[in-house]
A and B are shown apart, each in its own frame.
Chain A
Amino acid sequence: MSVQPAVRAEGEKPATREMFYAEALGDALRLEMRRDPNVLVFGEDIAQHGGAFGVTKGLLDEFGPKRIRNTPISEIGIVGAAVGAALTGLRPVVELMYVDFAGLAMDQVVNQAAQNRFMFGGQARVPMVLRTQGGSGRGNAAQHSKSLEAWFAHVAGLKLVMPATPADAKGLLASAIRDDNPVIFLEHKLLYRTKGDVPVGEHLLPLGTADVKRQGRDLTIVTWSREVVFALEAADNLAAEGIEAEVLDLRTLVPLDKETILASIRKTHRALVVHEAIKRAGYGAEIVSLIVEEAFDRAAKELAS
Chain B
Amino acid sequence: MRGKPGALAVYAAAFLAFLYAPAILLPVFAFNDSKVIAFPLSGFTFEWFRQILDADSLHDATLNSLFIAVSTAILATTLGTFAARASTRYRFPAKAGIMGLVMTPLVLPEIIVGVSLLVAILQLGIELSLWTIVLGHVLICTPFSVAILGSAFQNFDKSLEEASIDLGRSRFATFRLITLPLVLPGILASLLVSFTISLDEFIIAFFLAGSEATLPIYIWGQLRFPQKIPALMAVGTVLLVASLTLLATAEFLRRSSIRRTGTDAAKGLM
Q: Do A and B come from one complex?
A: no
Interface on A for B, CB 8 Å cutoff?
Answer: none
Chain B residues with CB under 8 Å of chain A are: none
